[in-house]
Structure 1
Amino acid sequence: MKNTQPVVAYENSLFLNFVIDRKYRWIRHFLIIAAIVGIHFLPTSDPPNTDEGKEGWILFTKFISMAILLGFFYINHYVLIPVFLLRNRFLVYGISLLGFCSAIFLMMLILERLDLPFIDKQDETLLDWKDYLVLLILLMVFIAAVSSLKLFKIWIVNLIRFREFETNTLTIQLEQLKSQINPHFLFNTLNNINFLIDENPKLASKVLLKLSDILRNQLYLSKGDTIELKEEVVVLKNILFMEDIRRDKFVVDFQVEEGLDNVRVPHFLFIPFVENVVKHGAHQAMKNGLHVQISFTKAEGRLCFTCINPQKKKANPNDYGGLGLSNIQKRLAIIYPNNYLLEIDEKADFFKVFLSIPIDDGTYAYG
């Protein structure tokens, strides 16, 4: 499955920005207040009341109701949810809501006893437990609606934080895996130079200059997220070149399909495979006379890397110059989750690696 989900999804979402961004806080509060006020002044089909005294009382009760709902909203939003609900104290949270509803109903009973009916009942009966249940249901529906807004915001913020943490973790893992590649390549090359110093100082000097060039390229190329395939190929060919000058005969078939030079790939992704060639396959040739056969091709929108080399002895497929196949697979799994193919074909006389990765279209976050 292709990993096309952005790491931080809210960056291009106006809705999510509006929900979580603090600069829109006052607009959000204004909309909540406007919704509560609007509910109380919705037009009805009831005939207009000509009793000015009763009309004034109805208006007064509406303001009391709005004040109660707003108070209920803000107490729940800033006190009950953070203190109880988010700390998994669900029973205390429920009891608090029940207590708040009971306090409102008690206030309505007191107003009724003062001949100031908070609820204008058509049958002119007193408030009873049925009215309490109706009030409880209405307030619970209201609190569920407004609480869902708060919880949705918290869920989005936590999701973004988790994504950022996950991204940072993957970046650290990738940097660690890359740091395991570079030192080993350096140590191997220094050993080669040490070997050449006594045999051929001029060649040792040439290899040292080539190493300097490789390290310089790696230093500057590693500053971005990816590099072009042609730049990676230069590094791979330089590694093989340094092996070539050590051998009397070292035949390399290195093919790159036309049109792939500008394809972007992660840093140092293919170096471990070429290091494996140097370690296990540089001492003898295959039946076709080649010491190593490397190709980069394109198939069905994917970049395919193939590396074939002979084996001087039975090698451990998990041993890639000390790096280990597991580390290569970890890096591939981080960069291309469920979207890469790595096949190791080990025979008695040759060792073949096939790697297929999607061609970068900008949806992959490299470390």
Structure 2
Amino acid sequence: MTDFLSNNKLPYRISRHVLYWLGFNLFLGFIWGSFDDNYSIAIIVQCLLLPARMLLVYVTLYILIPKFYFKKNIFIFGISYSIWLVLVTVFVQRPIWDVSRAHFFPEWKVYDMFTLSEIMGNLFDINRAAIIPIIFVFIKFYNKEQKRTLTLEREQFKSELTQLRNQIHPHFLFNTLNNLYSLIIKKSDDAEDALIRLSGLMRYMLYEANVPKVPLSKEIEYLRNYIDLEKLRLNSTNTIHFTTSMNKDSKIAPFILMPFVENAFKHGISNDKVSTIEISVISDKDVLTMTVYNTKKINSTKNKGDETGVGLVNVQKRLELLYKDKYELIQNETVSYYKIVLTLNLI
């Protein structure tokens, strides 16, 4: 039934129109015929009035609605339809009705065809034929607009999400490659280990994270590799703690946690003073809690993004896009430390 009403192939369209006019004429014929039990004449009269009704309906459907209503000119459509309704009523419907009445109902009293009551009666009569087709077209147009709006919203969502993710990658690579370059210059024995970890990071970024969601274990491994790489360049004045726990390998949007870790290292590590970073990722069934604490550098200002990276502002945008109404982000900042607690419903 749904396919019959929505399919725009010519056979379906013709069938819908034929059934509508057949049903409409039979319905009015039986209504009229019930007054004097003369159903055959009533149906014949309805058929004679069919050209006027079809003229009103098809000019409205294929000219007035596409030209005005579909282009959002609702007021002009209303005026145009009203004028067309009057013209068809006076110059087509009314003459046909007068001839039919004189032939089939000669005993009826003849009225002036141009009186207000006669014209209004005919306006009402012919307008009934257009109500259902117009409503049907309006509903189809509304559904089409709704689908188009949803499609545009989905495309905008994908575009914005891709843009945000692409902003994260260059920032991360810039920092990581800088660290690796520094180790190579120093001819450190840790360079080989750093290269292996970087290879794992690149594999994750290029091949494993190109999906809407990844296993949480993969995302945690990604964070661990990054943290281990950062540790290689730090001295003994820095303390880094990374703890994880999960009782279920849920799915999570890739790179959603990484900026908080990056932010901690960017604004919390200083080789000139004692610095501390504490990161924990705890997953209890489908609820993830991430806590990131870092001491602040001297004269460090609140991070709202920088020239080379996305910062925490765009992370919140991603959270709104991907986990709207499913997350809570609490930020606590003092002169000496910065702390975030992210609670995420992974379902």
The TM tier, using the shorter chain, reads 0.7 to 0.9
Q: Which among 245, 249, 260 is matched to residue 232 of structure 2?
A: 245
Letter in 2 for 1:35: G
**How many angstroms apart in 2 are the aligned matches of 1:28 and 1:310?**
72
User: Residue 193 of structure 2 corresponds to which residue in structure 1?
Assistant: 206
**How many angstroms apart in 2 are the aligned matches of 1:31 and 1:201?**
84
Residues 336 and 45 of structure 1, relative CA distance in 2, 3 Å threshold:
same
Give yes or no for contact 2:279–2:293 (8 Å, CA) kept in 1.
Answer: yes
Distance apart, 1:235 and its partner CA: 0.5
Residues 357 and 127 of structure 1, relative CA distance in 2, 3 Å threshold:
farther
**How many angstroms apart in 1 are the aligned matches of 2:282 and 2:324?**
21
User: Residue 256 of structure 2 corresponds to which residue in structure 1?
Assistant: 269
Letter in 2 for 1:236: L
Q: Secondary structure at the match of 1:304?
A: strand
**How many angstroms apart in 2 are the aligned matches of 1:64 and 1:341?**
69
- In the TM superposition, 1:40-59 aligns within 5 A as 40-42=28-30, 45-46=34-35, 48-49=37-38, 58-59=42-43
**How many angstroms apart in 2 are the aligned matches of 1:34 and 1:225?**
52
Give yes or no for contact 1:339–1:358 (8 Å, CA) kept in 2.
Answer: yes
**How many angstroms apart in 1 are the aligned matches of 2:83 and 2:128?**
16
Residues 328 and 56 of structure 1, relative CA distance in 2, 3 Å threshold:
closer
Distance apart, 1:168 and its partner CA: 0.5
Identity of aligned residues (%): 25
Higher mean displacement: 171-180 or 308-317: 308-317
Distance apart, 1:21 and its partner CA: 4.0
Q: Please give the TM-score of this superposition, normalised by the length of structure 1.
A: 0.80
Higher mean displacement: 339-348 or 22-31: 22-31
The higher relative CO (CA closer than 8 Å, separation ≥ 6) is in 1
Letter in 2 for 1:192: N
Distance apart, 1:349 and its partner CA: 2.4
User: Residue 316 of structure 1 corresponds to which residue in structure 2?
Assistant: 302
**How many angstroms apart in 1 are the aligned matches of 2:293 and 2:195?**
27
- In the TM superposition, 1:63-82 aligns within 5 A as 63-82=47-66
User: Residue 291 of structure 2 corresponds to which residue in structure 1?
Assistant: 306
User: Residue 52 of structure 1 corresponds to which residue in structure 2?
Assistant: none
Residues 183 and 127 of structure 1, relative CA distance in 2, 3 Å threshold:
same
- 4+ aligned runs moved over 6 Å, structure 1: 284-287
**How many angstroms apart in 2 are the aligned matches of 1:337 and 1:142?**
47
Higher mean displacement: 83-92 or 191-200: 83-92
User: Residue 281 of structure 2 corresponds to which residue in structure 1?
Assistant: 295
Which digits, 9 at most, give the CA deviation of each residue in 1:228-263, with x for residues without a partner?
1111111001000101222244544333343242x2
**How many angstroms apart in 2 are the aligned matches of 1:56 and 1:198?**
102
Distance apart, 1:136 and its partner CA: 0.8
User: Residue 222 of structure 1 corresponds to which residue in structure 2?
Assistant: 209
Q: Secondary structure at the match of 2:49?
A: helix
Distance apart, 1:33 and its partner CA: 3.1
**How many angstroms apart in 1 are the aligned matches of 2:178 and 2:134?**
66
User: Residue 159 of structure 2 corresponds to which residue in structure 1?
Assistant: 172
Q: Secondary structure at the match of 1:341?
A: strand
Residues 79 and 268 of structure 1, relative CA distance in 2, 3 Å threshold:
same
Give yes or no for contact 1:284–1:312 (8 Å, CA) kept in 2.
Answer: no
User: Is 1:256 aligned with 2:244?
Assistant: yes
Q: Secondary structure at the match of 2:20?
A: helix
Residues 260 and 346 of structure 1, relative CA distance in 2, 3 Å threshold:
farther
**How many angstroms apart in 1 are the aligned matches of 2:340 and 2:15?**
58
Q: RMSD value over aligned CA atoms?
A: 3.1
Higher mean displacement: 218-227 or 310-319: 310-319
Letter in 1 for 2:180: I
Give yes or no for contact 2:30–2:43 (8 Å, CA) kept in 1.
Answer: no
User: Is 1:61 aligned with 2:49?
Assistant: no
User: Residue 266 of structure 2 corresponds to which residue in structure 1?
Assistant: 279
Give yes or no for contact 1:105–1:132 (8 Å, CA) kept in 2.
Answer: no
Which digits, 9 at most, give the CA deviation of each residue in 1:272-321, with x for residues without a partner?
1111122122337999x95322223449x643222112212333231477
Letter in 2 for 1:173: E
Distance apart, 1:208 and its partner CA: 1.9
User: Residue 123 of structure 2 corresponds to which residue in structure 1?
Assistant: 136
Letter in 2 for 1:253: H
**How many angstroms apart in 1 are the aligned matches of 2:16 and 2:94?**
31
- How many residues align? The count is 335
Letter in 1 for 2:228: F
Residues 323 and 134 of structure 1, relative CA distance in 2, 3 Å threshold:
same
Letter in 1 for 2:242: F
Residues 169 and 344 of structure 1, relative CA distance in 2, 3 Å threshold:
same
Distance apart, 1:211 and its partner CA: 0.9
Q: Secondary structure at the match of 1:202?
A: coil
Distance apart, 1:219 and its partner CA: 1.2
Distance apart, 1:19 and its partner CA: 4.9
Give yes or no for contact 1:284–1:310 (8 Å, CA) kept in 2.
Answer: no
